[in-house]
């Protein structure tokens, strides 16, 4: 008999994107590229690196428990007060803190079925019930989610844009959704990719904080290139943040992460370059996927969900053998798909070359099987 609590025994654990070193070790490759975890392909912000170097000698000290300077800087940049901000060891930790702070044992969490896996896994670890609602055209179906809201609903997680589909809910849809939503529900907008948005109807979620029960999550892991340091933040009214502060651990965000994040916020040049590389890479990948006859879900993010119309795990494994790490979607329940992070020009070219090889397509040839989603349909706005 196991000593482990019953609900823990039942959890299907999170599978992270494979680390570059692991593949190098296994296959003896020198040149491995990772396009699996939506990281910044340009590396960290140079200003952040400089700040880390300057602060290295201080790591015998505990970090600032209050994150004074970073909160002040974020508050100024976002037009809020430091009391509106909670720092986390990545936004992953903030998801954990949110559940700890707000969801009673018999209350429910609502989200989509194909979305960021951590909502479900962290809820399960805390023995909370998660109700998932199917996506519609690869997009959060806010109308269906609203129909599921009842007396037990406490938190609703909306990944916007959604990982792993790259789709988004519009300002109009969100405002329809929030209209007449019960006051007993807390809405969480997880905006890990907000810096890559290239559409005009994306909601300004921060503008709802003062009037609605809304928490916005953002991270330094993606556009700012600091995934390895683990730092993210939540923005909300003090009636929420003050209790999240109590529920978090006192030294949850390390000293180097705080210093790096402060510096990264000033590195506008790095941020705009990252955005440019991603948007250019996206065009390149769209073109080449279309040329291969593959359907994809149009993305407002730095990754693309691709329909292979065949087993995605097999393609994923074959690509590994050529030193290209992408993400299979088995754990997400999307068996025929892979998700690829947009990389540098060189990485994108290598990805397409290897994909072509793995799909056994000669130059100029497209795959014979018809893709199951028609990207044209999605592009016409049916998503
Ligand atoms: C990457 C990602 C995060 C995780 O961010 P961290 O700050 O690194 O924990 C959160 N939410 C979504 C939707 C993500 O894709």
What pLDDT score was predicted for residue 382? 40
How far is the C-alpha of 187 from the C-alpha of 207, rounded, in Å? 13
Please give the number of the atom of ligand 1 that sits closest to the Cα of 227.
8
Measure 266 CA to ligand 1 centroid, in angstroms: 21
Fold adopted by 6-43+269-379? 3.90.1150
What is the model's pLDDT at position 250? 97
In short, whether 116's Cβ falls inside 6 Å of ligand 1 is yes
How far apart (Å, rounded) are the C-alpha atoms in residues 58 and 113?
44
Q: Is 46-264 a domain of CATH 3.40.640.10? A: yes
Which string of b and e fits 330-368 if b means at least 16 CB within 10 Å?
Answer: eebebebbbbbbbbbeebbebbbebbbebbebeeeeebe
Å from CA of 206 to ligand 1 middle: 18
Digitized pLDDT (tens) for each residue of the chain, 383 residues in all? 899 999 999 888 888 888 888 887 887 777 899 999 999 999 999 999 999 999 999 999 999 999 999 999 999 999 999 999 999 999 999 999 999 999 999 999 999 999 999 999 999 999 999 999 999 999 999 999 999 999 999 999 999 999 999 999 999 999 999 999 999 999 999 999 999 999 999 999 999 999 999 999 999 999 999 999 999 999 999 999 999 999 999 999 999 999 999 999 999 999 999 999 999 999 999 999 999 999 999 999 999 999 999 999 999 999 999 999 999 999 888 999 999 999 999 999 999 999 999 998 655 666 655 555 654 445 433 43
Nearest CA to ligand 1 atom 15: 163
At 1 the pLDDT is 84
Closest ligand 1 atom to residue 116 Cα is 13
CA nearest ligand 1 atom 1, residue:
192
Q: How far, in Å, CA of 329 to CA of 312, rounded? A: 7
- Write down the domain spans for the chain: 6-43+269-379, 46-264
Ligand 1: does its nearest atom lie under 6 Å from the Cβ of 221? yes
What integer pLDDT is reported at residue 376 of this predicted model?
47
Look at residue 381 in the predicted model and tell me its pLDDT. 37
Distance (Å, whole) CA 148 – CA 143: 9
- The residue whose CA is least distant from atom 11 of ligand 1 is 192
Report which secondary-structure segment, H or E, holds 109: strand 108-112
219 CB near ligand 1 (under 6 Å): yes
* Cβ(159) – ligand 1 distance below 6 Å: yes
């Amino acid at each position: 008999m196991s000593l482990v609590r019953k609900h823990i025994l039942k959890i299907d654990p999170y599978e992270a994107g494979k680390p570059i070193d692991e593949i190098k070790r296994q296959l003896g490759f020198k040149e491995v590229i990772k396009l699996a975890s939506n990281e910044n392909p340009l590396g960290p912000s140079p200003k952040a690196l400089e700040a880390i170097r300057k602060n290295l000698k201080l790591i015998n000290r505990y970090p600032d428990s209050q994150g004074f300077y970073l909160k002040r800087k974020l508050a100024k940049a976002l037009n809020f007060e430091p009391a509106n901000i909670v720092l986390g060891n990545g936004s992953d930790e903030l998801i954990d803190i949110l559940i700890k702070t707000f969801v009673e044992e018999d209350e429910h969490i609502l989200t989509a079925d194909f979305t960021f896996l951590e909502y479900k896994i962290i809820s399960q670890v805390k023995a909370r019930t998660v109700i998932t609602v199917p996506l519609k055209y690869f997009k959060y179906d806010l109308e269906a989610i609203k129909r599921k809201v009842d007396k037990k609903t406490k938190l609703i997680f909306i990944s916007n844009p959604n990982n792993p589909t790259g789709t988004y809910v519009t300002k109009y849809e969100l405002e329809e959704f929030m209209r007449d939503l019960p006051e007993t529900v807390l809405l969480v907008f997880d905006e890990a990719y907000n810096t890559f948005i290239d559409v005009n109807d994306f909601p300004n979620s921060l503008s709802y904080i003062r009037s609605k029960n809304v928490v916005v999550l953002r991270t330094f892991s993606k556009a700012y290139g600091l995934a390895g340091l683990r730092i993210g933040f939540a923005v909300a009214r003090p009636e929420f943040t003050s209790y999240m502060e109590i529920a978090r651990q006192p030294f949850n965000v390390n000293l180097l992460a705080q210093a790096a994040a402060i510096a990264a916020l000033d590195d506008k040049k790095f941020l705009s370059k990252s955005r440019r590389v991603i948007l250019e890479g996206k065009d390149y990948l769209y073109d080449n996927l279309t040329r291969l006859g593959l359907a994809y879900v149009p993305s407002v993010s730095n990754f693309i969900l691709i329909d292979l119309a065949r087993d995605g795990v097999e393609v994923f494994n074959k690509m590994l053998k050529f030193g290209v790490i992408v993400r299979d979607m088995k754990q997400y329940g999307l068996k025929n798909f892979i998700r690829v992070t947009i990389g540098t020009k060189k990485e994108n070219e290598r990805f397409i070359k290897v994909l072509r090889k793995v799909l056994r397509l000669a130059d100029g040839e497209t795959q014979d099987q018809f893709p199951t989603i028609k990207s044209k349909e999605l592009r016409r706005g049916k998503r």
